[in-house]
Structure 1
Amino acid sequence: MDLAQYVKTLNTGHESYPDILSYAVEKNVPVIDSDALAALKHLIRIKAAKTYLEIGTAIGYSGLHMLSVYDDSRLITIEKDEASYETAVENFSKYKVGSRVDAHLDDAKTIDLNLDEASVDMLFIDASKGNNQLFFDKFSPFVKEDGLIVVDNILLRGLVIDDGITGRNKRKLKEKVDAFNQNMSKSNYPTSFLPVGDGLLVISKSQV
């Protein structure tokens, strides 16, 4: 066991939704890694965040976990894949949180979200990785001052530092994700790049 695996084991707690996680593994649905999920939920507790805007619902796994932190929390979530969206809605209903979820079947790149600016405590970006900058620019205005913006998969399973990429699409993806990471590291926003899961970027809405 290496140090990264040791820390991941320590960070991984009880799984509240084993059936959904098993489904994700069986169907190859990408979901947030267990140690990154633990960090995400810890951030929610630290900030006492109760309203979440999620870009990329998938099958509702991360959304359920976010909603599990506080019984009075609410989730606005966007998913463009119809099959994933329908599965997520079923999962929200199964765990009796459907009344706390505003789920949109739409493309986050083009959706016109009817939401007041500075109205959510946390923005969680976990959709098409090459659009991280677009999603940040489009949805960060909805986050309250001193709220949080969290972006998953900023390391692309190591692809982001791979200089031997030959495939054009992978190379473009790497360049886009790296450009976003570099932009945020040089921005006026307080940021932390956490090497948990596939990399978690935590951004405070307040500028320095």
Structure 2
Amino acid sequence: MELIKYVRDLNTMEELFPAIHRYALENRVPVIDSDALNVVKQYIQIKGAKNILEIGTAIGYSALHFASAADGVHVTTIEKDEASHNLAKDNINAAGFSNKITAILADAKEVDLKDGRFDFLFIDASKGNNQLFFDKYKEYLTDDALIIVDNIFVRGLITDDNVENRNKRKLRDKVRNFNQAMKDSEYSTSFLNVGDGLLVIY
């Protein structure tokens, strides 16, 4: 057994929402990898996070997991695709989590959360906008907030120097630039080789 698979299997816990996870796999809905998900949930627990902001709801899979990570957690999650948002709300209601998750239908590039103050930010939307989302939503965070960005490896694209497709090359360069900017910033950062890559920013 290769080492990466060994560690991935150790980091993957029993699925709490199997029907939603199965739907995502069968319909190619992009959701966080299981090993990375459990690492994020542990960070939520270690941080003692209570007010989580998620950029990119999809069908509500990660929001449900985050809300279940510890008692007293509330998740606010933003999704611009109406069909995904509606399915997420159905999933949240069916799981009995409507009082723990607020799902917002909007373009995260344009949302004004007014007085929202969050101690945990999870960015998992269009990868080329990581920098924009970071810059916009850090203003809504507490001073000791934790930020995690998913898919910083872009399914292997990040290290591919021979990308012929112009759009993919542009995406790769944007994510590369963001990763480097965070490394060079004043913030404490960790780049984790779990799932499709997690960036943890404090």
Q: What's the TM-score, normalizing by structure 1?
A: 0.95
Q: What residue identity is the alignment partner of 1:151?
A: V
Partner of 1:87: 87
Partner of 1:136: 134
The question of 1:34 aligning with 2:34 is answered yes
Q: What residue identity is the alignment partner of 1:58?
A: A
Q: What residue identity is the alignment partner of 2:172?
A: K
User: What is the CA–CA distance in structure 1 between the aligned matches of 2:50 and 2:147, rounded to whole Å?
Assistant: 14
User: What is the CA–CA distance in structure 2 between the aligned matches of 1:112 and 1:144, rounded to whole Å?
Assistant: 16
Q: What residue identity is the alignment partner of 1:20?
A: I
Deviation at 1:142, TM superposition (A): 1.2
1:154-193 correspondence to structure 2 within 5 Å: 154-193=152-191
User: What is the CA–CA distance in structure 2 between the aligned matches of 1:132 and 1:168, rounded to whole Å?
Assistant: 19
1:106-145 correspondence to structure 2 within 5 Å: 106-116=106-116, 119-145=117-143
Q: Secondary structure at the match of 1:196?
A: coil
Q: What stretches of structure 2 of length at least 5 have no aligned partner?
A: none
Partner of 1:72: 72
How many residue pairs were aligned? 202
Q: What stretches of structure 1 of length at least 5 have no aligned partner?
A: none
Deviation at 1:195, TM superposition (A): 0.4
Write out per-residue CA displacement over residues 118-162 of structure 1, whole angstroms, 9 at most, x where no aligned residue.
x11100000000000000000011111111000000001110010
Q: What's the TM-score, normalizing by structure 2?
A: 0.98
RMSD between aligned alpha carbons? 0.8
User: What is the CA–CA distance in structure 2 between the aligned matches of 1:87 and 1:114, rounded to whole Å?
Assistant: 26
How many percent identity over aligned positions?
A: 56
Write out per-residue CA displacement over residues 78-129 of structure 1, whole angstroms, 9 at most, x where no aligned residue.
000011000100111011111222211000011222234xx11100000000
